[in-house]
Structure 1
Amino acid sequence: MLTSLLHSLRTPLRRLLAAWVELRLVEPDPQTLNLDPTRATLYVLPHPALSDSLLLDDFCRRHDLPAPDARLQLGPLALNSCMALPKQGRRLWGRLPRKRPPFAALVATLEQHPELDVQLVPVSVFWGRAPGKTFGFWKLLAADSWQLTGRLRRLLSVLVNGRNVELHLGTPLALRELIDDRPPELTSRKIARLVRVHFRRVRTRVLGPDLSHRHTLIEGVVASRDIQRVVGECAIAQRQSRERTQRRAERYGREIASNMSYPVLRFMDQLLQRLWNQLYAGVQVQGLERTKQLAGEATLVYVPCHRSHVDYLLLSYVLYREGLMPPHVAAGRNLDMPIVGPLLRRGGAFFMRRSFKDNRLYSAVFNEYLHRLLSRGHPVEYFIEGGRSRSGRMLTPRPGMLAMTLRSYLRGTQRELAFVPVYIGYEKVLESSSYLKELQGAGKKKESPLDLFKVLKRLRQPFGRVAVNVGEPLKLGEFLDARAPGWRHDRDQARPPWLSRVVPALGRELSMRINAAAALNSVNLVALVLLATPHRAIEAELLKEQMALLVALQQRRPGGANISLPGGDPEAWLAEAKTLGFIERHDQALGELILAGHQQATLLTWYRNNVLHLFALPALVAFAFRNNPRFDVDTLHELLAPAWPLIGHELFVSPLANFRDALGETLELLGQQGLLHQQDGTWSRPPGHEPNSERLLLLGRLIQPSLERGYLLLAALLRYPSGSLTRESLEEHSRQLAERLTLLSGLNAPEFSDRRLFSGLLDVLEDEGWLWQENDRLCFDAALEVAQQRGRALFDPALRHRLSQLARQ
């Protein structure tokens, strides 16, 4: 009787639910399910819930999918088109009575009727997305968590979260392909197990693991065996009571730990949605599908590039909107300030000091806290560059967080750990004015709560679009298998001997994967072309042609595996750069001119450096023809091969499988664009009076600063006999030379004389065997002098003379 009553009320209940509920996310697009119309469709829910089945019924009607409330007639078997897996539970004494496996009758029918088949479609519905938590009113009231809800709680959840519902559709599963020679009951259990594994992975991806209450988590960290050992040792070393040292450890725990709150996540989702819509013309997301596949089976560590203070807010927002659990984010302690700090902490931020030096207890507490997050499967996010990039380049990775993550992995985790590289590309960053001051030599400004109100004043300014590109994930186990094959035998060592070698390699690999997912936008393109001109001025038509050339080069031979290109045409890109305030357009009798003032040009260097790595190889080849009208491939390879490792290391370019093959493909590509001509196995540049000659020159100038830095470094080194200079003295001398060159040349490129770039060049020279150290002095042989003399052919006499004069000073 109850069943017939519910059936009669199903239609009005469905309509009532449809009027109240709003699906915030449906994944994947129902049109991509590719349901087979020749097979019967059976929807499977993870547990019985009338609200879920009614919601699914309405959804299928709206999208013209097979109806879940229909009756399927499969031979003699009649069943509903939607079923739920039975609850699994225990009585006080032993298991509940064994029930017949849910798919047993269906499997038996298919075995008796070979012409029949059924496709299973797993469906997960989330009413809100509160991760499980030990305490809190919202656990009782608000949303789906790991604990299945009762009828009253589900009713309250529908009322509270009706505007925040997600529906996740699984890939259709052909039932007949799973039938084998085993009895129907065993086959049914196997199918149920597969479906339950799918549901568990979806819940892990969307909700993350259960959250411990912050106080409980801190207590667990401090009470751990490792922390108690360090507390005792620090108490003795510092001649303090154990109780006092214990209280200090607890204080460190409170200083560090996040306090992720579901109501705050909901609030920030709504707030940030309005903020992004106000600030940006759009947030474009690419490449997240691989991460979604990994999220249910691996612990994720997001490692984005760091260009703006809003990076972590933007990424957490994107992940939340895309149906993934927002990560716990490592933030600098400088952001733990009034108003901002508590909000960030409840949004998932945990805070860390800039340095752990000389504070063993703090280091131990932080390491234990991070290990507990990772070992329990919580997604984590941190910036391997440390601070924000003031130059726009990818900065050299810091080893700290990577080493802690790797040591945590060695201690043992229940699941695989995967790094997810993320490139965030802005057409205009909120910090443009402060970056401009810092690029012009001002010191870094300390963060303040007042900065929040300054941002609010700029909400009416245009900031263009933002791209969030997710790169190729890196599974840590596979990486260690390749770089440290015996790592599994070293799990009991706190610092295995290979750690100092593997951590920098891991950071570099992640940096290259971030750069391989770069987003090319209108401001990048304008900066690349305009800053390659001597006086930051160019004809509008030539600028448009050169921007189109750069995009064409990326379309045919992309500089990264997961890059994205701008939509529209060169005129639209030019208009966008003008709207954002980066250029000036001047009408002139002979044609429109595009100019950049001193401050505009200085700021444009930041946006050029974001994507300079994408054009490293084409620019290097183009520069080779600046002082040489023609080359055969062998000569060009001999000239450029020594320079490529230096450039690739500086710009974090993914290594080439074969430089000679890549060189040949680049020559062919430049030939297709009319920038080079081939005849009788020789490549030559166009005559100087042809437009393509100027386009080749502009392309080559992109790499000129990197080559000039290398020339200055080698010229300064080779002025002295082998074994004369220390590494530090050569870095400083090279920096001074580069600084002098920028002043004499009027370059708007403050990063040109960055000492870290010269340090990176020396790293590569040592790795490639050109340099080595004896008694802390740099040593070399005649091979380096020969290579330097050969490289002089890249530079025209005037430039070579200027650089040589500087080096002699």
Structure 2
Amino acid sequence: MKTRTNQFLRIIAEIFRPLFSFLARHYPESFARLRQTFAKDLYFSGMIARFNVWHEYIFKPGFERVRIDSVELTQLKELSQKATLVYVMKNRGQLEYSFFNHLFLKEGIPLARFANGARTIFWRPLSDFIRALGARLDYYYRKGLLEDPLDSGYIEELLGRGESILINLKIYHEFLFGASEDEVKFITPLLKAVAKQNKPVLLVPLQFLYDRHPEKAHKTLIDLFFGEKSNPGMFRKLALFFKTYRRQATVKLGEAMDLKKFVSDNPQDDLDLLSHKLQTILLNQLRIERKSITGPVLKPRHEVLDKILRDSKFKEDLNAFCQESGVSAKKALEDAKHYFHEIAADVNYNYVDVYVWLIRWLTQNIYEGIDLDVEGLAKVKAVAGKNPIVLVPSHKSHIDGLLLSYIFYNYDLTMPHVCGGINMRFWPVGRLIRKAGGFFIRREFGGNKLYKLVLNYYLRYLVKAGHSIEFFIEGTRSRSGKLLKPRMGILSMLMDAYLAGTTKDIYFVPIAINYERIMEAKSYLTEMKGTKKEKEDARGLIKAGKFFNKKYGKVFLRFSEPLSLKEFFDQKNIKPHEKSVSELRKEVRDFAYQITYHINRVAVVTSSALAATALLSYSKKGIPEDQILKRVEILHHYLAHKGVDLSALVRQKQEWATRQALSRFAREGIVAVFNDFKEKFYVILDNKRPLLDYHKNNSVHFFVSLSCFCKVLLMHKGDAIALNLIKNFFETLRVLLSHDFTFSQRTSLDEHLQRIVDFFGSENLMSVEGDLLKINHQAYTSGILDFFGSLLDNFFETTWLVLLYCKHISFTAIPRATLEAAIREKGEVIFMKGDLKHEEALTAWNIRNAVDVMIDLGLIRKLENNLVSRHYDEEVMHRWEETLQSVLGWNVLKSVPESIVKSDLPIELNKIT
């Protein structure tokens, strides 16, 4: 199109034509070099090898601070060695293009030699700028005006040479300057070129985010005139960059798409249809990848409430509740609104920024670093944005939820909506958590159907909107160090949301969080003794200030492979809308245990856990240091055989790490260190065994099957034992431990036992011959069976204590809490007498689990209102007492009682090996 500007430039060019002709004749070599350089970038749109001084001075400091995922960057470098890269952006401006030019130069990634709609001539040093202008004039004098790159075949030529280019799918400017959009025509040359290419061609989406905050539901005047934060105009880009690059600006290097595969997968489509289809796919991928960082559009809380109340299915369920309960519609609606405001988050990203700053300060002042599973996090990133993700971490400390929010925010994933107990709603913590995405639920709401209904529909809203959610499947912090049994409430509601068709899939991410030291150790110690937990309030927060002067070691975060709920139901041939979650209790339970299995599987074993296990396994009061080191080495050897994740210190410097853990225990007043005439030894101080037990329980689940196996061999004490007899005894022990641990049914018992035999077989201690297990006498004399077998003695002692109490003391219709307190009181007497060897057998949760075992055995009966009564059965009590005494090595059991072997007690699905 001819314009006055173009006509003016042509007149100026004609004035200089004689001078150029003269210079070209007299300096042919210089002009040849000029033409050769110009041929590499005919349109002055390619990335450049160096910037001018002003560009470096203004933008380079900011570019250096922009956040980039190191994993994504490494992957892009690897791809560049194997394929021709075509970068794809949406709404690319000069600033974003300049940044990627800077990044690719720095990292040795191929530069884009062409970018539609871009001009880089003004970024160049003055000398390059002058040469470029000269080259353009020279071309004009020789060949006339440049052809359109689409007509000249320039894009296809570049790709044919293996050069990279950048395609901008859309260009948008703010209201003041109008809007324009590139057509799909720049995609067509890619499709033409790929057919002639031998080398793979990969499309790589690139995004530059000035702000990681989600889009707002309502636009402001600033958004209208200068563009939204997600799609800013020229002026707003500059303002946002210099305002936020230090902490907010983020780059997303997207998942590469194989262009050849795309073409081969659509052989019937013509070029025009293929181009439009590819444009749609790429724009959708860019949208999904951006959403994985910012999250979905953020709506005010009152709009979320209105949306739920207008939902036809909610209205239907609310009417049904009114008819069933006799509550008026007006009262039910008022209560529903009250429950919503009690539950729902009220996200404000001004608070989020403060929240993240506080967490950063806490983690830097309290912990010595976070050992993060970057590869596991990359797997979470791969599914984020496409479908809702639900984070399911283990729960050992109040800091758990804070850490995950901090990690997600700092690794460019949307902040999750964190489900917390209503006890954390106190001022000012409750307000800050709610504004940062937390929502609060009551501990118990089984009888309140309307509350449950509102919570259910709030979770449906979060899932449908695409928000990330985080909840603790254990329901409370584990005071024992072990993963608690899963609670089904929130999980069943999320599964119900999927079955109701609110989303195509939900990905659940099991996460293990392990600490070298726990902040709440002292309060847990008092709760271990049955003392009631202190209520959280502002005064407790002030008291917590004393923790900030200490360092609590490292924190370990490990992510399991995300679990697809759709795949889980597909395997069971269950489709959305076919059944409600109330009809699928077994499936909910199975999925819950699948999650807890994966949490335990990825848990990290620390030096504290190994040292505590070794200390507690020694029978004498004084524990020689060399014995501790030997026992840790044996534990390490078995864990390595299983492929368990060990902390870096344990892997690399096992002995040094153990000594460090022992020194830490000494500083904390858990053990005392002495030297006699021969050696250095440790003594566990009074009342401190339960603290060591907490550390031990962080990893004891890895040894449960092994310990049970060793117990069976020790109960038999022979050179050969029938495999069937081992299985029968093993099942007996599983009954006794059924509430302390859950045993895996992902693999058969035969496979479990074979793995253990393989471990001992590698040490030439035993082997299988036919139906018999042959045992080398050295297995008994070396003490290795006694060592592994003793790891669960405290659990067996607790069960024996509760059985003994039921045998000798009658009780009828008493509160369960009263019974457990009485058992503990009696246990302290027996411990002082010396009949109980392990003080940790008296912890409140061990007793609670042992009472559940007695209920399963029928020796205690549950009544209404959490009351219990003894059911005296002398024969059953005698048989189980004899079994427990044999397990603990107090006598030798000749045979397994038939009632025990054939017991139909439920053996639950597992989270162990």
- TM-score where L is the length of structure 2: 0.75
User: Which one-letter code corresponds to 1:527 in the other structure?
Assistant: A
1:598 partner SS: coil
User: Which one-letter code corresponds to 1:188 in the other structure?
Assistant: S
User: Which one-letter code corresponds to 1:178 in the other structure?
Assistant: F
| Equivalent-residue separation in structure 2 for 1:69 and 1:53 (angstroms) | 12
| Equivalent-residue separation in structure 1 for 2:682 and 2:74 (angstroms) | 46
Partner deviation per Cα, 1:698-753 (whole Å, 9 max, x = no partner): 22111223445566778999999xxx999999999899768745643253223376
Matches within 5 A, 1:273-672: 273-286=360-373, 287-482=376-571, 485-486=573-574, 488=576, 490-491=578-579, 496=582, 498-535=583-620, 537-558=622-643, 567-579=652-664, 581=668, 582-627=670-715, 628-632=717-721, 634=723, 635-644=725-734, 647=737, 650-672=740-762
Q: Which residue of 1 aligns with 2:79?
A: 35
Q: Which residue of 1 aligns with 2:775?
A: 683
Out of 79, 90, 108, the residue aligned to residue 46 of structure 1 is 90
Q: Quick check: which one's helix share is greater?
A: 2
2:79 partner SS: coil
The question of 1:60 aligning with 2:104 is answered: yes
The farther-off stretch of 580-589 and 419-428 is: 580-589
Partner deviation per Cα, 1:478-507 (whole Å, 9 max, x = no partner): 333445x4454535x5x64x2333333333
What is the aligned-residue identity percentage? 22
Out of 808, 816, 838, the residue aligned to residue 747 of structure 1 is 838
The alpha-carbon distance between structure 1 residues 4 and 386, as it changes in their structure 2 partners (threshold 3 A), is same
CA shift for structure 1 position 782: 11
| Equivalent-residue separation in structure 2 for 1:169 and 1:346 (angstroms) | 30
Q: Which residue of 2 aligns with 1:205?
A: 292
User: Which one-letter code corresponds to 1:17 in the other structure?
Assistant: F
| Equivalent-residue separation in structure 1 for 2:539 and 2:591 (angstroms) | 38
Q: Which residue of 2 aligns with 1:19?
A: 61
CA shift for structure 1 position 279: 0.9
Q: Which residue of 2 aligns with 1:125?
A: 208
Root-mean-square deviation over aligned CA pairs: 4.4
The question of 1:160 aligning with 2:243 is answered: yes
User: Does the Cα contact within 8 Å between 2:886 and 2:892 map onto a contact in 1?
Assistant: no
Q: Which residue of 2 aligns with 1:186?
A: 273
User: Does the Cα contact within 8 Å between 1:134 and 1:212 map onto a contact in 2?
Assistant: yes
CA shift for structure 1 position 584: 3.0
| Equivalent-residue separation in structure 2 for 1:577 and 1:686 (angstroms) | 30
Partner deviation per Cα, 1:684-703 (whole Å, 9 max, x = no partner): 35387x6x32x432221112
Partner deviation per Cα, 1:96-136 (whole Å, 9 max, x = no partner): 9993443211222333x344653332222222210122258
| Equivalent-residue separation in structure 2 for 1:39 and 1:99 (angstroms) | 26
User: Which one-letter code corresponds to 1:189 in the other structure?
Assistant: H
The question of 1:148 aligning with 2:231 is answered: yes
CA shift for structure 1 position 446: 0.5
2:512 partner SS: strand
User: Does the Cα contact within 8 Å between 1:14 and 1:54 map onto a contact in 2?
Assistant: no
| Equivalent-residue separation in structure 1 for 2:103 and 2:671 (angstroms) | 49
| Equivalent-residue separation in structure 1 for 2:708 and 2:542 (angstroms) | 45
The alpha-carbon distance between structure 1 residues 135 and 699, as it changes in their structure 2 partners (threshold 3 A), is same
CA shift for structure 1 position 80: 6.9
The alpha-carbon distance between structure 1 residues 609 and 73, as it changes in their structure 2 partners (threshold 3 A), is same
User: Which one-letter code corresponds to 1:216 in the other structure?
Assistant: E
The farther-off stretch of 596-605 and 68-77 is: 68-77
Gaps of 5+ in 2: 7-42, 116-152, 864-868, 898-913
User: Does the Cα contact within 8 Å between 2:798 and 2:846 map onto a contact in 1?
Assistant: no
CA shift for structure 1 position 429: 1.4
User: Does the Cα contact within 8 Å between 1:578 and 1:584 map onto a contact in 2?
Assistant: no
1:130 partner SS: coil
| Equivalent-residue separation in structure 2 for 1:330 and 1:68 (angstroms) | 45
CA shift for structure 1 position 341: 1.0
Partner deviation per Cα, 1:288-333 (whole Å, 9 max, x = no partner): 2322222132211112121111111011111222221121011111
CA shift for structure 1 position 423: 1.3
User: Does the Cα contact within 8 Å between 2:801 and 2:827 map onto a contact in 1?
Assistant: no
Partner deviation per Cα, 1:173-212 (whole Å, 9 max, x = no partner): 4433433444333333343344333323212221221111
- TM-score where L is the length of structure 1: 0.84
Q: Which residue of 2 aligns with 1:196?
A: 283
The alpha-carbon distance between structure 1 residues 519 and 760, as it changes in their structure 2 partners (threshold 3 A), is farther
| Equivalent-residue separation in structure 2 for 1:712 and 1:601 (angstroms) | 18
User: Which one-letter code corresponds to 2:525 in the other structure?
Assistant: L
| Equivalent-residue separation in structure 2 for 1:184 and 1:542 (angstroms) | 74
The alpha-carbon distance between structure 1 residues 439 and 116, as it changes in their structure 2 partners (threshold 3 A), is closer
| Equivalent-residue separation in structure 2 for 1:686 and 1:727 (angstroms) | 52
User: Does the Cα contact within 8 Å between 2:301 and 2:345 map onto a contact in 1?
Assistant: yes
Q: Which residue of 1 aligns with 2:303?
A: 216
| Equivalent-residue separation in structure 1 for 2:90 and 2:270 (angstroms) | 24
Matches within 5 A, 1:255-274: 255-274=342-361
User: Does the Cα contact within 8 Å between 1:639 and 1:790 map onto a contact in 2?
Assistant: no
| Equivalent-residue separation in structure 1 for 2:355 and 2:500 (angstroms) | 35
The farther-off stretch of 735-744 and 266-275 is: 735-744
User: Does the Cα contact within 8 Å between 1:332 and 1:353 map onto a contact in 2?
Assistant: yes
Partner deviation per Cα, 1:585-631 (whole Å, 9 max, x = no partner): 32332111122212432211122222211111222222334342533
| Equivalent-residue separation in structure 2 for 1:716 and 1:560 (angstroms) | 41
| Equivalent-residue separation in structure 1 for 2:586 and 2:391 (angstroms) | 22
The alpha-carbon distance between structure 1 residues 499 and 173, as it changes in their structure 2 partners (threshold 3 A), is closer
Q: Which residue of 2 aligns with 1:134?
A: 217
Q: Which residue of 1 aligns with 2:850?
A: 758
CA shift for structure 1 position 273: 1.8
User: Does the Cα contact within 8 Å between 1:231 and 1:249 map onto a contact in 2?
Assistant: no
User: Which one-letter code corresponds to 1:455 in the other structure?
Assistant: A
User: Which one-letter code corresponds to 2:752 in the other structure?
Assistant: A
| Equivalent-residue separation in structure 2 for 1:619 and 1:564 (angstroms) | 26
Matches within 5 A, 1:665-744: 665-673=755-763, 682-686=774-778, 692-693=782-783, 695-708=784-797, 740-741=826-827, 743-744=830-831
The alpha-carbon distance between structure 1 residues 114 and 206, as it changes in their structure 2 partners (threshold 3 A), is closer
Matches within 5 A, 1:163-174: 163=246, 164-174=248-258
| Equivalent-residue separation in structure 1 for 2:764 and 2:527 (angstroms) | 40
The farther-off stretch of 671-680 and 38-47 is: 671-680
2:472 partner SS: coil
User: Which one-letter code corresponds to 1:747 in the other structure?
Assistant: H
The alpha-carbon distance between structure 1 residues 179 and 400, as it changes in their structure 2 partners (threshold 3 A), is closer
